[in-house]
């Protein structure tokens, strides 16, 4: 086999989820760049002013992640990303090969092939992941955040991707703003939005959804009703009534489903890695704790814990109930103030390549606010545009709202350009400092797991907005603008959406912490 092809095949698998989480059988090709000069520099950003991190030789074929101003972002064989000049590469299409579709409600993603490895994330039923390799009963996959992880093969359905048998169609967005999602349904996360008249390449159809390629090269799913296909002179008439949608930028409302819940009836109950007492206990639940039931086997129940992990508990030590509808998020009914740091004439830190902290803070905050509102929370933004606002004014907004929590979002900077990572602050001398620390810890844990950056930790910080607010408060520092690699990440929509989702999960963790402890542990 040609040496370049041997390098390319695993990289194609790696790339599939960077382009889009959902890439089922029949998906379209991905783009590659073949080096056309004897030696080509790979840089940290799209320009010769950026640091050189590697060189590649003539004939090397690399997956394409993005294009910008004549430069091409590629994926190196060691999984690093970088930029090369578009003048010296030939862009081609290649076909991905195999995917794994999640078949259980929630599935842990671990750092290695076994339950002894730590959990880095979870994925939900229907999520389709590019398959990198197999080891025993475990599958190595790549997440949308770019992280590589392992899932158990019992809970995944493998599919081989084939070349589309028909030419690709084109379409155009026919509403003002349209959500693009990682899969064919509103339960999949939103990766971006596209505006009216945006041209899309149609990759495949699934029920009322279209998988499309955006002008940026990214793949995603959109609701079919809001795309006019190229061969249509007008939107096709519908033989049935159109779904009622409150806003054309939103997707149709899903139908309710039957869900089962288990309530612990003993003072403390072990949660195990499998459905017998022979399996290891990794945590316990106090009396009264309520968890979602996923499966049942031999009197044991598989449940989803509040931190997203799954495990098994003895079914005879709980009461099981069910109801129709969606399990309410723990943020539902809460009043949450999101504070995008800086703004207006105060841009905050400015990156090596000019990215302003105030822009990053606002983008992540707007994404987080949307997720929280969808989950039923009342969200108040201290600013929703690039405007100046005093520290005292931010505190006054939170106090006037009688908020349950206050979260301030920032990006970091350091004199050394090699320093990077994520950290979260709270003020330890408030009457509710323990709650503030708990809030900060939940946010930090989710951000580190999602972004994959260095865990700097949870710290005391004497910042005005966390010191003067009376409700539990935390201030997150997402990443370092002074670090070229992290600045490049913060430029991307993927980073901003991923960070927002992590903040959302951190707030869910904070609001659903179980109260009470038990002295006796059963099973």
The 10s digit of each residue's pLDDT in 434-446 is 999 999 999 999 8
Placement of tokens 């814990």 in the chain:
305
Could you give the 3-state DSSP secondary structure of residue 166? Answer: coil
pLDDT of residue 220: 80
pLDDT of residue 423: 96
Do the beta carbons of residue 162 and residue 153 sit within 8 Å?
no
Could you give the 3-state DSSP secondary structure of residue 41? Answer: strand
pLDDT of residue 3: 44
Classify the C-alpha dihedral 465-466-471-475 as positive or negative.
positive
Residues 6+ apart with CB under 8 A from 464: 391, 392, 395
Mean pLDDT lowest among 73-77, 164-168, 354-358: 164-168
Give 322's pLDDT tier (boundaries 50, 70, 90).
low
Placement of tokens 């639940």 in the chain:
285
Give 217's pLDDT tier (boundaries 50, 70, 90).
low
Strand boundaries in 315-451, DSSP class E = 318-324, 335-340, 378-381, 405-412, 422-426
User: Is the pLDDT reported for residue 362 higher than 90?
Assistant: yes
DSSP code of residue 522? B
Residues 6+ apart with CB under 8 A from 321: 260, 261, 263
The answer to whether 487 is a known catalytic residue is: no
User: Is the pLDDT reported for residue 513 higher than 70?
Assistant: no
Integer-rounded Cα Rg, in Å, for the chain is 24
Give 78's pLDDT tier (boundaries 50, 70, 90).
low
Averaged over 448-474, what is the pLDDT?
Answer: 93
Averaged over 247-267, what is the pLDDT?
Answer: 53
User: Is the pLDDT reported for residue 518 higher than 70?
Assistant: no
pLDDT of residue 355: 93
DSSP code of residue 501? H
Averaged over 133-148, what is the pLDDT?
Answer: 73
Q: Give 187: exposed, middle or buried? Use CB within 10 Å, 0-12, 13-18, 19+.
A: middle
**Chain Cα centroid distance, residue 460:** 27
pLDDT of residue 408: 97
**Taking each helix axis from N to C terminus, what angle separates 493-511 and 433-451, rounded to the nearest 10 degrees?**
140
Averaged over 28-39, what is the pLDDT?
Answer: 69
Give 20's pLDDT tier (boundaries 50, 70, 90).
very low
User: Is the pLDDT reported for residue 22 higher than 60?
Assistant: no
Q: Give 353: exposed, middle or buried? Use CB within 10 Å, 0-12, 13-18, 19+.
A: middle
User: Is the pLDDT reported for residue 233 higher than 70?
Assistant: no
User: Is the pLDDT reported for residue 161 higher than 60?
Assistant: no
**Which one from 446, 477, 487, 501 is the annotated catalytic residue?**
477
- Top pLDDT among 85 and 26 is at 85
- Top pLDDT among 391 and 101 is at 391
DSSP code of residue 400? H
pLDDT of residue 187: 63
């Amino acid at each position: 086999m040609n040496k370049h092809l041997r390098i390319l095949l695993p990289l194609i698998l790696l790339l599939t989820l960077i382009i889009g989480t959902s890439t089922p059988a029949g998906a379209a090709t991905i783009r590659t760049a073949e080096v056309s000069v004897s030696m080509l520099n790979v840089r940290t950003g799209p320009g010769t002013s950026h640091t050189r991190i590697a060189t590649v030789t003539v004939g090397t074929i690399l997956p394409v992640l993005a294009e910008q101003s004549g430069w091409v972002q590629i994926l190196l064989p060691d999984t690093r990303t970088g930029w090369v000049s578009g003048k010296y590469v030939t862009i081609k299409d290649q076909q991905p090969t195999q995917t794994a579709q999640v078949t259980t409600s929630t599935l842990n993603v671990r750092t290695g092939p076994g339950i002894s490895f730590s959990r880095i994330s979870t994925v939900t039923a229907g999520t389709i992941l590019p398959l990198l390799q197999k080891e025993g009963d475990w599958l190595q996959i790549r997440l949308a955040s770019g992280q590589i992880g392992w899932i158990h093969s019992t809970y995944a359905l493998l599919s081989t991707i084939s070349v589309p048998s028909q030419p690709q169609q084109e379409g155009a967005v026919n509403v003002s703003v349209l959500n693009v999602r990682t899969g064919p349904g509103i339960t999949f996360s939103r990766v971006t939005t596209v505006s009216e008249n945006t041209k899309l390449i149609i990759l495949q159809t699934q029920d009322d959804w279209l998988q499309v390629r955006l002008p940026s090269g990214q793949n995603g799913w959109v609701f079919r009703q809001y795309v006019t296909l190229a061969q249509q002179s007008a939107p096709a008439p519908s033989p049935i009534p159109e779904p009622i949608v409150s806003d054309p930028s939103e997707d149709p409302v899903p139908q309710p489903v039957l869900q089962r819940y288990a309530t612990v009836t003993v003072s403390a109950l072990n949660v195990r890695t499998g459905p017998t007492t022979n399996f290891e206990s990794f945590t316990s639940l106090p009396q009264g704790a309520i968890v979602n039931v996923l499966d049942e086997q031999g009197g044991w129940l598989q449940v989803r814990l509040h931190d997203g992990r799954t495990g098994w508990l003895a079914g005879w030590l709980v009461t099981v109930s069910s109801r129709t509808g969606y399990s309410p998020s723990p943020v539902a009914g809460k009043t949450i103030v999101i504070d995008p740091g800086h703004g207006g004439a105060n841009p905050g830190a400015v990156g090596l390549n000019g990215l302003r902290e105030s822009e990053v803070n606002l983008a992540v905050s707007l994404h987080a606010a949307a997720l929280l509102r969808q989950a039923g929370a009342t969200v108040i933004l201290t600013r929703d545009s690039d405007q100046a606002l005093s520290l005292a004014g931010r505190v006054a907004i939170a106090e006037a709202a009688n908020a349950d929590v206050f979260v301030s979002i920032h990006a970091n900077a350091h004199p050394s350009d090699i320093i990077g990572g994520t950290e979260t602050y709270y003020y330890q001398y408030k009457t509710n400092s323990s709650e503030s620390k708990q809030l900060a810890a939940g946010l930090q844990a989710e951000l580190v797991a999602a972004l994959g950056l260095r865990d700097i930790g949870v710290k005391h910080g004497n910042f005005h907005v966390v010191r003067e607010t009376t409700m539990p408060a935390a201030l997150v520092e997402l990443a370092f603008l002074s670090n070229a690699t992290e600045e490049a990440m913060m430029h991307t929509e993927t980073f901003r959406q991923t960070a927002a989702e992590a903040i959302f999960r951190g707030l869910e963790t904070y609001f659903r912490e179980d109260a009470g402890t038990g002295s006796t542990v059963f099973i």
